[in-house]
Chain A
Amino acid sequence: MISHEVTIAGYLVALAGIVLLQVLATRTRVPIPSLGDLLTRAMRSRTGRVGVLVAWAWIGLHFFAR
């Protein structure tokens, strides 16, 4: 039972970190790029763009496809 909760708490901490960084990026002047800026930068080259889109496709495959 404890392991179950600790595992879920880990996911929540990671999620909270993402939300915190996004809030800091968009609501304050702290020099942190938003997730959108990060994705735009990563997708500037073809390999980056295809890599990100494949990761998106993989999410669909992973949760729904055989």
Chain B
Amino acid sequence: MSRAAPGPEDRHAHSPGAEGGAACADTVVDAARPAGRVLAALAGFREPVVWILLAIAFFTAISGKPVDGVLMLVVAVGLAWDAGRRALRHADAAGTAGAQAWPGRLRGGRRRIIVVGALLAGAAVYAGVVGSFSRYSWPVTACIIGLGTVVVLIGWHGPVRDRPAGGRLPVAGTLAWVAVLVAGCLWELGALLQQPSLTTDSYSHPTISTLTDPVLATSPGRAVVLLGWLALGWYLVER
């Protein structure tokens, strides 16, 4: 068993145990054997994220949003395939990969200020234009899918800048976060399942979507929410 040097997709500095054994699909297998290749190709399905995305795809599709469901399905399968492919590559050429600098990595304070200014202006224009479209229309769908695809592809290639690996997270504190976030999701799911149907809103058991409908019914409201969504995306890309 050996591990390859971190490739461009793993630009975070590594520390012992940083990936966590179960969380890493880069398991090295004996790729010379057909069975080993099959196992490697299926390695991605050991990733919890893949199953979470598949669950989202399923529930989204049966909730009357087939486009969202198909997109989630495509990403989940792509992610699983990619993890399997990397496992095969690690097995075939362990130790040959080298870390590379991402060409687009930004250096220099002045250039960064210009880029940040341009991104802020672009975000304002995007939010204003897309917010002016009706919800669930094809123009807004195309804009959201387009930007979402770009951001996911950026993330797929790796973080935009090096970050320290950091230490292990405190277990109890991490579990506290998991408990709160899972409880919130289950509460939302409970409200969803108590609706008359998955596609019919309920006043008695409103989902978050139902509660935000009044805000998103107006063009300024949509623009403000889109700005928040863009800011969150920017924050995540910088992680």
Of B50-58, B95-103, B107-115, the one touching chain A: B50-58
Which residue of the partner chain, among A4, A15, A31, A46, contacts B83 with CB atoms under 8 Å? A46
**A20-66 CB contacts (< 8 Å) to partner B:** 21, 25, 30-33, 35-41, 43-66
Interface size, chain B (Cβ < 8 Å): 80
A64 to chain B, nearest CB (A): 5
Which residue of the partner chain, among B10, B172, B176, contacts A45 with CB atoms under 8 Å? B10
> A50 and B79: CB pair below 8 A?
yes
Interface string of B161-201 (1 = CB under 8 A from A): 00101100110111011001101100110010000000000
Measured in the bound complex, the distance between the Cα atoms of B218 and A59 in whole Å is 18
Which residue of the partner chain, among B148, B188, B206, contacts A57 with CB atoms under 8 Å? B148
- A52 touching B236 in the complex, CB below 8 Å, given contacts A3-B205, A58-B72, A65-B136: yes
Chain B residues with CB under 8 Å of A25's CB are 173
**B117-143 CB contacts (< 8 Å) to partner A:** 130, 135-138, 140-141
Closest to A46 in B: B9
Closest to A53 in B: B155
> A63 and B216: CB pair below 8 A?
yes
Determine the main DSSP class of A at the interface with B: helix
A13 to chain B, nearest CB (A): 8
B30 within 8 A of A: no
Measured in the bound complex, the distance between the Cα atoms of B181 and A15 in whole Å is 9
Measured in the bound complex, the distance between the Cα atoms of B183 and A17 in whole Å is 10
- A37 touching B166 in the complex, CB below 8 Å, given contacts A11-B208, A47-B49: yes
Chain B residues with CB under 8 Å of A46's CB are 9-10, 79, 82-83, 86, 156, 158
> B75 and A50: CB pair below 8 A?
yes
Most chain B CB inside 10 Å of its own CB: which residue of A31, A32, A61, A64: A64
- A50 touching B156 in the complex, CB below 8 Å, given contacts A45-B19, A58-B68, A64-B130: yes
Chain A residues with CB under 8 Å of B204's CB are 3-4, 7
Chain B residues with CB under 8 Å of A53's CB are 151-152, 154-155, 233, 236-237
Known: A38-B174, A46-B9, A56-B148. 9 other contacts (CB 8 A): A11-B211, A46-B82, A51-B53, A53-B233, A54-B148, A56-B232, A57-B148, A59-B229, A65-B141
